[in-house]
Every structure is written in structure tokens, then in C-alpha cells.
Amino acid sequence: MSELAGTLDLGLLKQRLYSAVLSDVLDQLGAPNQALKPFVRPLDDASILCGFARTGLYMKRYHVQEGHNPYALEMDLIDSLKPGEIAVLGCDGPTDRIAPWGELLTTASMARGAAGCLTDGLVRDVRRIRELAFPLFHGGIGPLDTKGRAEMMAMDEPIEVAGARVEPGDFIFGDADGVVVVPARLAEEAIALALAKIEAEDTTREELLAGASLRSVFERHGVL
């Protein structure tokens, strides 16, 4: 897990942060391409995804060799998840073929204290996962099993998910607006800047509600 994991209060960050402000400060820090493509959506719009990436890379398969377990690496990743970690599964989405996530992986991940799952592939068993209130951000919904269609071929390596590079230990934040990947090297600074910007936005909002003009408030606080 990221070295930051022991210093960040993920519960507090889930309450305070939102994806748009993180995207704004990453622009400021010279990292403008950290938001996933908008086809990746939360299974429940109320979900907040907040934690540290553990990555898995999938590729298409068209058969299963006799005696081979196509779920082996997938099980290794899920069984090794720690509290605050997010399973981030790259499936070269959008796809109509690769559905790596379902109820049983959700249950196993929750038992280990995982913070959620992010994938640009498909998910299934969605009614049960919604009942569990597990933060799941996905590239589509479909009933297909991965067996004979796809297989995790690598874990804990840099991958691409919905157009964004994700490395193990990167800070992941997702809400109803989308998902932002904060590179581990920028996470501490980006989070501090985002929290400061949120305070400025709160002040801006109060002044706008009191009747101040948008231009005058922007000139005072530089927030829009």
C-alpha cells in the first residue's frame, strides 16, 4: 500500500473531497489527464470511491486449457487486499466481453476491508452488490463470466483504465461526477490543495448566496 496510507484519514477525505476539485488541482500541478473517460460510472450514484490502487490487467482469451485455473491471479489479488485498497482492473474498456467483477469478489473484498473496485470492464450481480453498498465503479453491466473470454495476466503493475494510467499505490477518488487518479508522487500536495480550494469554494458560495456578483467574488477568491 502507499506510504501515505498511514497518514491519511480516508473517512474524512470521503466526506470532504470530490472528484472535480481534485481534477482542478491536478491541472494546477501539471497533471491534466487524470480523469477517467466518462463511460465509467458508479453502480450507485451515492457511492464514494476513496483509497489506494491495487492493479490487475486483463486480456481477451478464447479458450481455457485443460487443468488451467483462469481465476488464479484474480484470486491472488483479491485475497491480498488490505483495508483502504481498491481493486483497479484494466480491461481495455469499453468492452462487451470482459466482466471481471461480481458479488463473490465483492464479498471477499469487503471481508478484507477493501475500499472498493474500479474497472473499465463489465460487472454483474448488480442487485446484490447494491444491497451490500460496496463502492463499485464500472464500464458497463453484463452477465458474462470471464472464463474462456478473459483472464487477469498481471497484477500490481502500471496499467491503463479508461484512458488514465494507474500505478499501484496511486490515490483513487470517485463520485457521481467521475473518477480521478492522483499519482502517488502528487497525492499529498494535491489533497492539501484540494482541501484548501474547498474552503475557498465554501466562502464563495456563502457570498453568492448573500447576493454578491459572480465577478466580484471571483476577483476576491479566484474560485469558480
pLDDT (tens digit per residue) in 92-139: 999 998 999 999 999 999 999 999 999 999 999 999 999 999 999 999
125 annotated among ligand-binding-site residues: yes
Q: Is residue 196 part of a domain?
A: no
To the nearest whole percent, how much of the chain has pLDDT over 90? Answer: 83
> d(Cα 163, Cα 92) in Å, to the nearest integer?
9
Amino acid type, 174: G
**pLDDT for the residue numbered 10:** 94
Q: Is residue 100 part of a domain?
A: yes
Q: Is residue 33 part of a domain?
A: yes
Number of domains present in the structure of the chain: 1
pLDDT (tens digit per residue) in 34-82: 999 999 999 999 999 999 999 999 999 999 999 999 999 999 999 999 9
CATH number at 137 reads 3.50.30.40
Q: Is residue 148 part of a domain?
A: yes
Q: Which domain holds residue 96?
A: 3-187
pLDDT (tens digit per residue) in 140-196: 999 999 999 999 999 999 999 999 999 999 999 999 999 999 999 999 999 999 999
9 annotated among ligand-binding-site residues: no
Q: In Å, how far are 3, 47, 127, 144, 182 from 164, measured between CA atoms?
A: 22, 21, 28, 25, 10
pLDDT of residue 2 exceeding 70: no
Q: What angle do CA 215, 217, 220 make, to 5 degrees?
A: 110
103 annotated among ligand-binding-site residues: yes
Q: Is residue 195 part of a domain?
A: no
Q: Is residue 221 part of a domain?
A: no
Does the pTM surpass 0.85? The reply is: yes
121 annotated among ligand-binding-site residues: no
